Structure 1
């Protein structure tokens, strides 16, 4: 079973400062601890993989539980964290070898000069809002009844300046909402439902299984932000530093193969994945059958990278459109 830990939100809020300090103190990158030529039957490789709590971390946890990563001779320690932005400094410092993040956080990190490359896709969505694994929720007694009512309201996101912020703004714009009049509040996913219920925030952007938990507690679903920002949006990524990729190409290949195999297995056995969620995501077993499962593919969606990069420029997160092809590792 994968092991887990968490980091505080302060780390995510100070991403730019932390990343620059990490580069300065490490000379750009560090030698990844424990890097080996490659995993083998006699010498499996231990790696630490960070991922975002909720559906992203559950993906890795399920693959570990099924023995898929072990089949590829990888001994994975999963470190679940509040957001992808908090994972990136750990990659640069060498504390983690591979990190699950989101496209926006990786593009933002690359814009500061950090030598990260996307090695595999993470979560994505289809085209049907009813199957989106994200949602904006409001309390059952909230006066907010439609997306347009969110103008001027406070909305919780897991971290600022990440894919949640960008997709939320794009979805609200698509619904005619003045995004300049909303207030974003940073909260961990597990804290969002209580904050909504206590009216500490007007709404919250949550992902599965927190969407299903919120619905089970009586919260109302107002918006499906990933799909409503862009159909078939690619959201998540798995990344590593360029130095670790050079040092351990066989480990990278083994992770890519294990992630792709896990993606295929979940696609072919969705009920088995849902049945595992109570144990790996602390979900009420009665709610597991109704969880919306993300789409996990085997190719990085460059079109989604380009879409999100353009939106980052529109929302002031980047000055210039990023070179999206440069951020994707082109090796095997």
Structure 2
């Protein structure tokens, strides 16, 4: 009888104890279709399953994410490789721990009067609009180098992708290099023609163009278990995005709301899946892409030192997570 009373008392006491608190992770996320994996993971409860309370902070550029990481405002974020390499070359302890997706998003769209041009070299001397400082800009410069020309052989000017349709309507550029939906909107509005696709750029340069998940050396050192559980949920989310397109778009709309309300489901799907979500760990081709980008940026004196791949990329968390969700 006494044993039963003791057991009942323990059970009653345990019911009034607070539940074990989840580990909070603050992540920088772009308020675009890039938010799909985090949206899915939150809606499906994948982060909760791993004891992670995920808070998203909306940011618009990889450079902004890197600044927030350095200031301790976020634990994780997303960025293209160019700003990551620039940060690492400046001595910032940024580390790549996985991927969001891969696939170059850039379409080269010629104005109607230049629609007969089909190769990059055909645009020598012409005005090309591109978001300066972006990964797409770096790929354009690498492509120019690949064909044996120089940046000065072209009139390369800054152009924000949302401004490209209006700029092409007004005759501001002979061509623009941007991503969906803005580049394809130029075509749909009758202001230009696609002359080079993302696949053509990838084949020309042998790139995979990874969009990477980044953190800091301190976070890896101090919170390895939290990072592993985050990556476990992330890998599960990416797998869902890769396989369940219709529901992923629906869940993304639930997160972004008015931010994408002007886009129909087909456009959202086309933009979201212009990137491939079939892996989380970087593979050999991704790492080769990173090496070639480092070599190019260093040769062009855009970075002063070559970051060590071993210090730059820690694939261990992503590989364990991928093994878990197979």
Of 62-71 and 234-243, the range deviating more from structure 2:
62-71
Cα deviation for residue 87 of structure 1 reads: 1.5
Cα deviation for residue 76 of structure 1 reads: 2.9
Counterpart for residue 207 of structure 1: 179
Alignment equivalent of 2:47, drawn from 66, 69, 73: 69
Please say if residues 26 and 56 of structure 2, whose CA atoms lie closer than 8 Å, have aligned partners that are also in contact: yes
Counterpart for residue 275 of structure 2: 294
Please say if residues 23 and 53 of structure 2, whose CA atoms lie closer than 8 Å, have aligned partners that are also in contact: yes
Coordinate RMSD, CA, aligned? 3.1
Alignment equivalent of 1:237, drawn from 208, 212, 216: 212
- In structure 1, C-alpha distance between the alignment counterparts of 2:110 and 2:63, rounded to whole Å: 25
CA change 1:273–1:138 in 2 (3 A) is farther
Helix, strand or coil for the counterpart of 2:97?
strand
- In structure 2, C-alpha distance between the alignment counterparts of 1:78 and 1:215, rounded to whole Å: 34
Give unmatched runs, 5+ long, in structure 2. Answer: 1-18, 318-326
- In structure 2, C-alpha distance between the alignment counterparts of 1:238 and 1:118, rounded to whole Å: 6
Cα deviation for residue 124 of structure 1 reads: 1.0
- In structure 1, C-alpha distance between the alignment counterparts of 2:202 and 2:292, rounded to whole Å: 13
Matches within 5 A, 1:1-332: 42-52=20-30, 54-125=32-103, 133-140=105-112, 142=114, 145-146=117-118, 147-160=120-133, 162-174=134-146, 178-218=150-190, 219-225=192-198, 226-231=201-206, 233-274=208-249, 280=256, 282=260, 283-291=263-271, 292-296=273-277, 297-300=279-282, 301-329=286-314, 331-332=316-317
Please say if residues 116 and 242 of structure 1, whose CA atoms lie closer than 8 Å, have aligned partners that are also in contact: yes
CA change 1:193–1:67 in 2 (3 A) is farther
Counterpart for residue 14 of structure 1: none
Q: Return the TM-score normalized by structure 2.
A: 0.74
Give unmatched runs, 5+ long, in structure 1. Answer: 1-40, 126-131
CA change 1:290–1:123 in 2 (3 A) is closer
- In structure 1, C-alpha distance between the alignment counterparts of 2:151 and 2:203, rounded to whole Å: 15
Helix, strand or coil for the counterpart of 2:265?
coil
CA change 1:273–1:211 in 2 (3 A) is farther
Please say if residues 130 and 176 of structure 2, whose CA atoms lie closer than 8 Å, have aligned partners that are also in contact: yes
Q: Return the TM-score normalized by structure 1.
A: 0.73
- In structure 1, C-alpha distance between the alignment counterparts of 2:52 and 2:178, rounded to whole Å: 31
Helix, strand or coil for the counterpart of 1:122?
strand
CA change 1:266–1:181 in 2 (3 A) is same
Please say if residues 82 and 188 of structure 1, whose CA atoms lie closer than 8 Å, have aligned partners that are also in contact: no
Pair member with larger Rg: 2
- In structure 2, C-alpha distance between the alignment counterparts of 1:65 and 1:152, rounded to whole Å: 50
For 1:275-322, what per-residue CA distance to the aligned partner results, in whole angstroms no more than 9, with x for missing partners?
556664612234345444312322123212112111212332124443
CA change 1:305–1:274 in 2 (3 A) is same
Counterpart for residue 320 of structure 2: none
CA change 1:222–1:249 in 2 (3 A) is same
